[in-house]
Structure 1
């Protein structure tokens, strides 16, 4: 009888720990467009990149200084020491899709939004590479 009670106790303890671990796991958030832009605009800088195979991609000094600014009116500006680009952005939270349409170009970049909070933006490109940006 005691072995039966001990087995039930261990099973209950294991189940409780499993529920606790699941509840504590950081969940990815799809966020909303307001998190991307703040009240008027928000600047984001690249914190980390991974290749399509999941390997860490070391950022150069210049890449660390690049920034993208999203404006609440739907426009964006990308800046680095050597070049600037701008255009219009759209964000579909249901589809978790961020699209960047560059001015004067047919180029549109589409990203899957893996995580969007007020401080972090994690994007995945079509080739599987990922980029984590932090709000400045």
Structure 2
């Protein structure tokens, strides 16, 4: 009798721990525009990349030197040792989308925002490739 109660107790405990563990897993969140810019502006650098097929893509030394700065007024600046670009950004938290419109160009880059927190931004391009950016 005691063995059956102990067995039931252990099974209930295991089930409770399983539910607790599943509930505590880190989930991707899509925050607000303030997380993208901070109070005035925030600088982001590439940390990781994956190809459209999901394979890890090595971030080169040159790519690690590139940065994008989002300003609270809706503008952005991209910088690297060899070139600079700027433009306007729009972020739609409901649609989980980020658009970059470059100055002097018809080029607009559109990304799906997979994760946005105060220190991490995970984007997916139209081709399925992904990029994780982190703040300085």
Class of the TM-score when normalised by the shorter of the 2 chains: over 0.9
For 1:27 and 1:58, locate their aligned partners in 2 and report how far apart those are by CA, in whole Å: 25
- TM-score normalised to the size of structure 2? 0.93
Post-superposition Cα deviations, 1:11-52, rounded to whole Å, max 9, x if no partner, equal 312221111111220111111100100111110000110111
Residue in 2 aligned with 1:104? 104
User: Would you identify which runs of 4 or more consecutive aligned residues in structure 1 move more than 2 Å?
Assistant: 1-11
Instruction: Note the C-alpha offset of 1:71.
Output: 0.4
* Correspondences of 1:1-136 after superposition (within 5 Å): 1-2=1-2, 4-136=4-136
Aligned residue pair count: 136
Query: Which segments of 5 or more consecutive residues in structure 1 lack a partner in the other structure?
Result: none
Q: CA RMSD in A?
A: 1.3
SS of the equivalent of 2:15 reads helix
Query: Which segments of 5 or more consecutive residues in structure 2 lack a partner in the other structure?
Result: none
- TM-score normalised to the size of structure 1? 0.93
